[in-house]
Amino acid sequence: MDPATLVGNILGVAKALLELAGRLTAAGQNRKEKTATLFENISGCLAEVSSEIRRGDVPYGRCHELMTYAQELPDLIRAEVGDEKADELGRTLYSAHDVEAVAMGLIGVQNKEPCLSVIEEASGKFRAIANMVRAR
């Protein structure tokens, strides 16, 4: 999968979750906290990926981190969004976990900013969702 598709899938998951944020706030306090923490962790991971790529580095280890979050996501949101949607979002995020490939695909690319801006937008959306879930 090309870098633009991978980061586009990550952003797609963030946008979908943002649309579902109202439902996610219906969870019990313990699950809301776990869900918000997961979204913050995804946001932080993506922010680090962007920073590392911008420095010209490959974000080694971030693939497995993002993959772990993708595997954890469905069970945390299943009760609020339903089995089908939870599994779909988890699969989509999992399919886009290869951020090392994104970095390698951008080696030698003069203008990395369009791709990095998508990663940073997704990071911001995940942070916003975390704040929304936690605040309600």
Alpha carbon 111 to its chain's center: 23
Taking residue 97's Cβ as centre, other Cβ atoms within 10 Å add up to: 22
The answer, as to whether pTM is greater than 0.85, is: yes
Mean pLDDT of all residues in 25-29: 91
Res. 2: pLDDT tops 90: no
pLDDT tens track for 54-100: 999 999 999 999 999 999 999 999 999 999 999 999 999 999 999 99
Q: Where are the alpha helices (DSSP H) in 55-109?
A: 62-81, 83-95, 99-105
